[in-house]
Amino acid sequence: MALPESAAELTTYIEGRYHVRHREQLPELRNLSAKVETVHAESPDVPAGLANILSDMIGELEVHMKKEELVLFPAIRQGHGVHMGEPISVMRADHDDHLGEISKIRTLTNDLTLPDNACGSWRRLYSGLQEFLTDIEEHIRIENDVLFPQFEKDRQAAR
């Protein structure tokens, strides 16, 4: 699907496509991870600590998305993007933190490699993680590479 052309439409798309989905995905994944970690605690392949990382991400992403929804995106929609340099810098720093968490998830799960004897819950967990990681990486790319540069250029030109 082609992305919306206007920045205002793109912010609405991001909220509807990614923010809503992340809020659905993460609690489910955290719960599945806690189950897998408990049931398979003795397995050397268990992603020990994954539920904690996902719990942390729930809080971090919620704060991040609220900042976008309540401050940055409304300003963009109202045509005040040129004044959003500092909030955009904060969002980019948050994205770097999220990418660090993604790296931890990939390391803990051996890049989502299932053991041969993985149960249904473990399989659902890794399948859901693959979908989440694809979604969040795409979300970050759209903001960093498509949305934010529009306003960083405006800010440079206004100086």
Write down the pLDDT at residue 153.
64
**Residue 81 and residue 47: Cα distance in Å, rounded?**
41
In this structure, what are the phi and psi dihedrals at residue 124, rounded to the nearest 5 degrees?
A: -65, -40
pLDDT in tens, 29-55: 999 999 999 999 999 999 999 999 999
Its pTM stands at 0.91
- Residue boundaries of the structural domains of the chain: 7-158
**Residue 132 and residue 60: Cα distance in Å, rounded?**
15
**Residue 18 and residue 139: Cα distance in Å, rounded?**
6
Q: What percent of the chain has pLDDT over 70?
A: 95
The answer to whether the beta carbons of residues 108 and 50 sit under 8 Å apart is: yes
pLDDT in tens, 133-150: 999 999 999 999 999 999
**Residue 86 and residue 33: Cα distance in Å, rounded?**
36
155: pLDDT confidence band, cut at 50, 70 and 90?
A: very low
The CB-based long-range contact list for 105-114 (8 Å cut-off, 24+ gap) reads: 105/50, 105/53, 105/54, 105/129, 105/133, 106/133, 108/47, 108/48, 108/49, 108/50, 108/53, 109/47, 109/50, 110/45
In this structure, what are the phi and psi dihedrals at residue 113, rounded to the nearest 5 degrees?
A: -90, 115
Place of tokens 């052309």: 5
